[in-house]
Amino acid sequence: MPHDHHDDFAFEPVEGLPEAPPEGEHILWQGRPDWWALALESLNLKWVMGYFVFLAAWRLVAAMDLMPFSQALAISTPFLVMGLVVCALLALIAWVQARATVYTITNRRVAMRVGAALTVTLNLPYTQIANAHLDLRRRGTGTIALDLLGETKFSYLVLWPHARPWRLRHPEPALRCIPDAAHVARLLAEAAEARIEQPRSARARAAGQRPGPAAVAAE
C-alpha cells in the first residue's frame, strides 16, 4: 500500500512522521500551510466576505426608498457583522488546520500528517507518484498536487483541504499553500528523480546499459 493511516494518539518520534525514518532515509524539508493563504484559497475568505458585503449593500439600497438613510444603514449593518463573524470562524479553522498539518519530504517519499479532529498520516513513496503540479501564487505561496499512479484512491473529504481543488472524481493529495513553493517543488522533483533513478541505474548496470530519464517531474 502506498499510504498508511495512523490515529492522532500515536507517539511521533519525529514530528509529522508516525515512526522514525528507516536507515538510509533522511528528511529534506518539512513545513506547514500558510494559514492566511489557506483561508483565502481553500476557504474562499474573500468570496464569503464579498457575499455579505453584497447583502448589506442590497439591503441598504432597497431600504433607502422606504426610510431615512440612517435607518437604512442601521438595518443593513447586521449583515456586515455576520460576515465578520463568519470570516473570523473561517480564519480560525484555517489556523487550526495549518497548525495540525505537517508536510514532510524525504529522499524516499512524501508524508502528509493532516487533520485537526481526526489526524491521519499519508505516506506516498516516489515510486507511486506520476507527476507533481505546482500552482504558484504572487506571495510565493503555492500548492503542489501529487498525481498518483495505479489504482490508489483517496476520499476528497478525508483529504480536504489538502487536496487539489475541484478534482472531485479523482482526488489528488496536495501540499496546500506552502511558503516558498517553487523551491519546495524543485526539491521534491530532484528527490523523486534521484529515487526513481536508483533501481533503474542498478538494472542498467546489470544489463550493461545507460539508465533512461526519470518518470517524475514537477511543473
- Inform me whether the pLDDT recorded for 205 exceeds 80: no
pLDDT tens-digit map of 2-24: 444 444 445 667 788 888 888 88
- Inform me whether the pLDDT recorded for 68 exceeds 50: yes
pLDDT of residue 196: 78
pLDDT of residue 199: 52
Check: CB of residue 150 under 8 Å from CB of residue 114: no
Q: Which residue has the higher pLDDT, 205 or 194?
A: 194
Mean pLDDT of 156-169: 88
pLDDT of residue 11: 60
- Inform me whether the pLDDT recorded for 212 exceeds 60: no
What is the per-residue DSSP string for 158-176?
Answer: HHTTSB-TT--SS--BEEE
- Inform me whether the pLDDT recorded for 114 exceeds 50: yes
Q: Which of 88, 43, 89, 82 is nearest to 59 (CA)?
A: 82
Residues 6+ apart with CB under 8 A from 69: none
pLDDT of residue 143: 96
Q: Which residue has the higher pLDDT, 63 or 210?
A: 63
- Rounded to whole angstroms, the Cα distance separating 32 from 42 reads 14
- Inform me whether the pLDDT recorded for 165 exceeds 50: yes
Spans of all domains in the chain: 39-97, 108-207
- Inform me whether the pLDDT recorded for 103 exceeds 50: yes
Mean pLDDT of 201-219: 42
Show the cell assigned to 53.
Answer: 458585503
Mean pLDDT of 176-189: 94
Give the range among 121-125, 132-136, 171-175, 195-199 with minimum mean pLDDT: 195-199
- Inform me whether the pLDDT recorded for 164 exceeds 70: yes
